[in-house]
Amino acid sequence: MVKSDVFKLYESDVLRLATGDTLRPGGFVLTDLGVKSCAFLPGARVLDVGCGRGATVERLVSQYHLQAIGLDPSEVLLEYGRRKYPAINLIQGLGEELPFPANHMDGVFTECALSVMEHLDKALKEIFRVLKPGGWLVINDVYARNSDRLQALQELNLDSCIRRALPKEQLINMLLEQEFYMVNWTDHTNLLTQLMVDLIMTHGSMNEFWLKSSSCSGSVDSSLAQAAIKQAKMGYFQLIAKKDVS
Ligand SMILES: C[S@@+](CC[C@H](N)C(=O)[O-])C[C@H]1O[C@@H](n2cnc3c(N)ncnc32)[C@H](O)[C@@H]1O
């Protein structure tokens, strides 16, 4: 895997101290909501793209009896997941090149991961390919509510699910281009606000959180990061889509 000098916030303990093993706002709240919306049969085959430490995969197996598998490029996060949940199936790979045949999965989850990927269009194409006709896509992720102020975010020298946050319309258009059809979009920005509260409780202030992140990487400017997030009016959503049966 190619090494990069961009700071990977999701691999650092600075974030995990506040979120636990689910490296996203809301923990399992939207995972559970997504499972209920999809009404999977027991044993349904479900892939978690950008599974991080594997906490969602473990939950899909233990709570919902799904045949779940996680995929992520980060050896650091996969190692942790394999040690903590030895019974689950975690593989290394990229969302842009899914190592599965076409029409294979009953569902794909991707939580705070599409917004980290460099080639989102390729990843969506791959997800569409591996889903069975009638298969479900559940996306829980950040979005930019102010589409005019994205540049400062994109220029930040950190890899986290804020840098590539897209406006709602742009993401929906990309999904429609892949011939997904939209089932539901719901705003859950309150979960992102709660995460910020948790980060403040854990680290003392958002400034301190960004300063600690910078001390891990030496490359994140805390005031720039905070200003960029504010300008883009970051929100959080759940989107559910389906691959058409026809
Ligand atoms: C914010 S973390 C979220 C991890 C996990 N979904 C969770 O919620 O705990 C983003 C994840 O996306 C993964 N990621 C980055 N680039 C990726 C890619 N091209 N394909 C798949 N996953 C990717 C990272 O390694 C990281 O685990």
Q: Which CATH number is 158's domain given?
A: 3.40.50.150
Least confident of 100-104, 153-157, 188-192, 201-205: 153-157
Domain for residue 197, yes or no?
yes
In a domain, 79, yes or no: yes
Does the residue 1 lie in any domain? no
Q: Are 48 and 140 in contact (CB under 8 A)?
A: no
* pLDDT tens track for 29-74: 999 999 999 999 999 999 999 999 999 999 999 999 999 999 999 9
User: Strand locations in 9-114, DSSP E?
Assistant: 45-49, 67-72, 89-92, 105-111
Q: What is the mean pLDDT of the chain?
A: 90
Q: Which helix (H) or strand (E) holds 223?
A: helix 222-232
Among 8, 48, 116, which residue has the most ligand 1 atoms within 8 Å of its CB, making it the best to mutate? 116
Pocket of ligand 1 (CB under 6 A): 10, 22-24, 49-53, 55, 72-74, 77, 94-96, 111-113, 116-117, 161
129-141 pLDDT, tens per residue? 999 999 999 999 9
Distance between alpha carbon 20 and the CA centroid of its chain, in Å? Answer: 15
Q: What is the mean pLDDT of residues 94-123?
A: 96
**Ligand 1 nearest-atom number relative to CA 119:** 19
In the structure, what pLDDT confidence band is assigned to residue 165 with cuts at 50, 70 and 90?
confident
Q: How confident is the model at residue 1 (pLDDT cuts 50, 70, 90)?
A: very low
Domain around 110: 7-241
**DSSP-derived pairing of the beta strands 234-243 and 131-144:** antiparallel
The predicted pLDDT at position 224 comes to 78
Per-residue pLDDT, 182: 96
CA of 159 to the centre of ligand 1 (A): 10
What is the CB neighbour count within 10 angstroms for residue 191?
Answer: 19
Q: Give the torsion sign (CA, 94, 172, 41, 104).
A: negative
pLDDT for residue 149: 73
Report whether 147 contacts 196 (CB < 8 A).
no
As a whole number of angstroms, the distance between CA 86 and CA 80 comes to: 10
Structural domain includes residue 196: yes
Rounded Cα distance between 221 and 215, Å, is: 10
Tens digits of per-residue pLDDT, 199-245? 999 999 988 888 887 665 556 677 777 788 888 889 999 999 999 88
Over 70: is that where the pLDDT of 157 sits? Answer: no
Closest CA to 137 of 230, 40, 26, 59: 40
Torsion (CA) 246, 131, 128, 27 in degrees, nearest 10: 130
Neighbour-count burial of 209, counting CB atoms closer than 10 A to its CB (0-12 exposed, 13-18 middle, 19+ buried): buried
Confidence band, pLDDT 50/70/90 cuts, at residue 6: low
Using the atom order of ligand 1, give the atom closest to the CA of residue 111.
6
Q: What's the pLDDT score for residue 2?
A: 37
pLDDT for the residue numbered 226: 79
Question: Total structural domains in the chain?
Answer: 1
Integer Cα distance of 182 and 175 in angstroms? 8
In a domain, 222, yes or no: yes
pLDDT digits (tens, 9 = 90+) for 80-97: 999 999 999 999 999 999
Asked if the model's pLDDT at residue 150 lies above 80, the reply is no
Give the Cα separation of 100 and 58 in Å (integer). 20
Answer yes or no: is 37 within a domain. yes
